[in-house]
Amino acid sequence: MFELKKGAFVLDELKNVSIRIGRVVEEEEEEWEEAGPTPKPGILELRKWDHTLLERYEPFYAPMQDFCNLCTMGPCDLSMNKKGACGIDLKTQKARLVTIACCVGASAHTAHARHLVDHLIEEYGEDLPIDLGPDVNVEAPVMRTVVGIKPKTLGDLREALSWAEKEIVKVLHSVHIGNEESYIDYESKALHVSMADHVGMEVADIAQIVAYNFPKAEPNTPLVDTGFGIVDRSKPTIVVVGHNVMYARPISDYLEEQGRIDDFEVAGLCCTAHDMTRYNQKAKIFGPIYYQLRVIRAGLADIVVSDEQCIRADLLDACKKAGVPLIATSDAAARGLPDVSDWPVEKIVDALVSGKLPGVFLPVPEKVGQVAPLVAEAVFRKHGGERKYRFFEDDSAFREEIEKCTQCMNCVFTCPHSLRVDQGMAHAQKTGDVSKLAKLEEICIACGKCEQVCPKNIKIINVIMRANYDNLYNKTGKTRVGRGPIQDTEIRKVGQPIVFGQIPGVIAAVGCINYPDEMKSIVEILEEFLKRRYIVVTSGCHAMDIGMIKDEEGRTLYEKYPGNFDAGGLVNVGSCVSNAHISGATIKIANIFAMRPLRGNYAEIADYVLNRVGAVGFSWGPYSHKAASIATGFNRLGVPVVVGPHGTKYRRAYIGKPWKKDRWWVYDIKTRQKVFIEPAPDSLLVAVETKEEAIVQLARLCIRPNDTSAGRQIKLTHYIELHQKYYGDLPDDWHLYVRSEADLPLKQREELLKILEEQYGWKIDWEKKKIVEGPIRHYDAGFNPTIVEEVYEKYTRG
């Protein structure tokens, strides 16, 4: 039999006709699992699931503007729910905007993945096997569940990528004028494209793990240096910034080859830094995105290499002012710079060192690897190895700057955090004490908005940084290198306690750094849960900031808590694209622990997660579109997300109404009945204002309908304790979660029974200390909930 192989064929008989066979579908691959109902879903395949979710978790809208100016028929006044010239109303327009935001986020990760995969296939070939370590057999849980494939090689990732790209384009299409009429359907599209985002992220991270040999699901990855004060200032320093390690990696390769890695400092900002440390543990992390202006203005960099996403749009300008040359590498951010791909290395180096060009666009990773160190060394020498902070020439210049302030408050009225710069300045003017200004440094995101409106042209960022000079410059910490996926064996171990509730929850702290409070608040929040033996998972900027905060004994959370996915563990999965391992872990619980099939079986898995897996996402400082799509992707998977107060600016939330009793129901597969349940969890996306509120909301949203009595008791104990500690009293809704006396915290059982009787009118058999009447439902050990009709039918059949 003639067998088709991959490649191009010319058929002799048919002139000028050639046939290209792309992927040859192998039989074995077809058989790994029976295909579920929704492999490679389009917009409609999971619409029913979305509508079920959204009926319970109603979209909430908080418009930023009363107007719309998305097209030339407008601008339109949409206030008080008027309609625009295109016929759209305010809610639908906001849902459309959220959909656009999620498309932006999803395409950021997916384009990043495409970049990587195409490049890596060229470098390593498409047959490079996907091997994520011996303990990872479920290698790509998101891809398996959503796309319905089980990728074996780098080349296989393209199939998932093509699916995601197609869906992103389709959803983006729907935001054009005259398309969708229903805000619920826009939300469904936002959920859809955000699910695609998790596929994009998974592709990107798997590709870089296998090609670059990043840690493969290792719990005990090394600790690397983090913070502003990490670099040895007597060495040339290369600063990489952005979200794609593909361009930065050759720098460390080149230096290793030359045997000169120890003569340089390679430190980075944001996720490229994260991923550099996964590649080479000699690399260091300055910090997250908001350290860009700080690092550049401080004169810490001898060269800056930028790639894509989360880079300041005035990076070149900032570098120019500080006399630091810039290499832009990604086509996503060419920065108006001349393309020097064809130039010889020496010519590029010369142009940058001499200052003939302030920066270059060089999208050739290998060349970047050579150019960056050569330029860094030459620039370093040019300065005579002299490395002074450049915020101000000297102390008197600093003082003079402060004296200029007239307390007009323009800065305060412009600052995203409304920071009281005026008060800090006034206090310093009067007393000479800059401590009030120093305090602002911990909340200031160095965005620079204030400087533009200051009528006195005060370099406010510099003043704030200089005021906290000693702390800032000595800030060093440790971050655990991103480990990538969670092992199957770890899942096997914790699957049951998570589903049954003995591990009270998984808190996933991910996202950007727009904290409403000092940076250390993220550590305070997470430590509360680590001490209580929740599993804490982290990634991206949150993971970096955690590494910068030390306790009184000088230890960071990474030094105090182990890196394994288990009770009391602090797991850093890695950069933003590594978030897919967090959604992947929840999927793996359904698969490895509960044996639920994954292949094209999204709704069943999401339903499983919603009803059973007490995982909650947390983004204390969200701001990017990527954070929007990451969170929305978690929501579709049944994972609630708590965001900090800036998160309200996404304009949309998903908030259920616990008092609407008819909204809280499930089908019980065991009793074959529709059962009314407690409102758990009662929101899918909700913003909190303070760290106290964050802690309490995270604990309460870990409660799931399927908790066993032992599990519910533990979850309720933590929730009640935290509520009492931070809110001063019992929660308003604790009784809603009580199904029997066994659910009650042991220590408070008697007292709580009394309250149930007196305040809520429940009937208690005091002799047996039993609840006779009152709960929304009684506990049944065989309870088997689902809100998906098809899942109900599947498991009740026969």
Partner 1 sequence: MAVTKEEKYPSPKRFDIADIQVSRESTAVKPKIVANMIKRAKRPLLITGGQLLKDEKLVDFAVKFAEKGIPIAATAGSSRPLIERGVRPISKTYTLHQITQFLQDEEFQGFDGQGNYDTVIFLGFLPYYLSRMLSSLKHFTKITTIAIDEFYQPHAKFSFTNLTKDRELYHSMLEEVLQNL
Which residues of the shown chain bind ligand SF4 in the complex (CB under 6 A)? Answer: 68-71, 73-76, 84-86, 88, 93, 177, 405-411, 414-417, 419, 421-422, 425, 444-450, 454, 456, 458, 460-461
Phi, psi of 184 (to 5 degrees): -65, -40
Is there binding between residue 686 and partner 1 (CB under 8 A)?
yes
d(CA 377, CA 302): 8
Tell me the closest approach of the beta carbon of residue 68 to ligand SF4, in angstroms.
Answer: 3
Binding span for partner 1 by CB under 8 A among 7-15, 98-106, 117-125, 409-417: 409-417
Q: Which does 649 bind (CB under 5 to 8 A by kind): ligand SF4, partner 1, none?
A: partner 1
Contact 634, 583 (CB under 8 A): yes
Tell me the closest approach of the beta carbon of residue 213 to ligand SF4, in angstroms.
Answer: 39
Contact 425, 412 (CB under 8 A): no
Give per-residue burial for 774-785: e unless 16+ CB within 10 Å, then b: ebbbebeeebbb
Cis peptide before 516 (omega within 30 of 0): no
The residues in 425-454 that bind partner 1, with binding defined as CB under 8 A, are 449, 453
Tell me the closest approach of the beta carbon of residue 444 to ligand SF4, in angstroms.
Answer: 3
d(CA 287, CA 290): 8
Number of residues lying near partner 1 (CB under 8 A): 57
Tell me the closest approach of the beta carbon of residue 421 to partner 1, in angstroms.
Answer: 12
Among residues 118 and 732, whose Cβ is nearest to partner 1?
Answer: 732
**Using the rule CB under 8 A, which residue among 384, 728, 761, 798 binds partner 1?**
728
Nearest to 242 by CA among 200, 277, 292: 292
694 Cβ neighbours under 8 A, 6+ residues apart? 525, 618, 620, 642, 644, 688
Tell me the closest approach of the beta carbon of residue 566 to partner 1, in angstroms.
Answer: 30
Is there binding between residue 645 and partner 1 (CB under 8 A)?
yes
d(CA 741, CA 645): 37
Is there binding between residue 760 and partner 1 (CB under 8 A)?
no
Is there binding between residue 649 and partner 1 (CB under 8 A)?
yes
Nearest to 267 by CA among 256, 280, 254: 280
Tell me the closest approach of the beta carbon of residue 148 to partner 1, in angstroms.
Answer: 36
Q: Which does 58 bind (CB under 5 to 8 A by kind): partner 1, ligand SF4, none?
A: partner 1
- Tally of CA atoms within 13 A in the half-sphere of 337 that contains its CB: 32
Tell me the closest approach of the beta carbon of residue 76 to ligand SF4, in angstroms.
Answer: 3
3-state helix, strand, coil in the chain (%, to 5): 45, 15, 40
Tell me the closest approach of the beta carbon of residue 55 to partner 1, in angstroms.
Answer: 14
Residue showing tokens 């998984």: 506
Q: Which does 693 bind (CB under 5 to 8 A by kind): ligand SF4, partner 1, none?
A: partner 1
Give the DSSP H or E segment for 306.
strand 303-306
750 Cβ neighbours under 8 A, 6+ residues apart? 769
Q: Look up residue 500 and give its amino acid.
A: F
Binding span for partner 1 by CB under 8 A among 16-24, 65-73, 345-353, 528-536: 65-73
Is there binding between residue 364 and partner 1 (CB under 8 A)?
no
Among residues 287 and 647, whose Cβ is nearest to partner 1?
Answer: 647
Phi, psi of 676 (to 5 degrees): -80, 135
**Using the rule CB under 8 A, which residue among 110, 277, 572, 648 binds partner 1?**
648
Tell me the closest approach of the beta carbon of residue 455 to partner 1, in angstroms.
Answer: 13
Nearest to 577 by CA among 532, 540, 629: 540
Among residues 458 and 631, whose Cβ is nearest to ligand SF4?
Answer: 458
Contact 146, 198 (CB under 8 A): yes
Provide the phi-psi class of 678: left if phi over 0, else alpha when psi is between -120 and 50, else beta. Answer: beta
Is there binding between residue 748 and partner 1 (CB under 8 A)?
no
Contact 373, 254 (CB under 8 A): yes
d(CA 619, CA 623): 9
Is there binding between residue 583 and partner 1 (CB under 8 A)?
no
d(CA 567, CA 105): 31
Radius of gyration of the chain (CA): 27
Per-residue contact flags (x/-) with partner 1 for residues 67 to 106, judged by CB under 8 A: x---------x-xxx--------xx---------------
Binding span for partner 1 by CB under 8 A among 126-134, 296-304, 684-692, 742-750: 684-692
Is there binding between residue 687 and partner 1 (CB under 8 A)?
yes
Binding residues vs partner 1 (CB under 8 A): 58, 60-67, 77, 79-81, 90-91, 407, 409-410, 412-414, 416, 418, 420, 449, 453, 516, 645-646, 648-649, 651, 653, 655, 657, 659-660, 682-683, 686-690, 692-693, 696-697, 700, 723, 726-729, 731-733
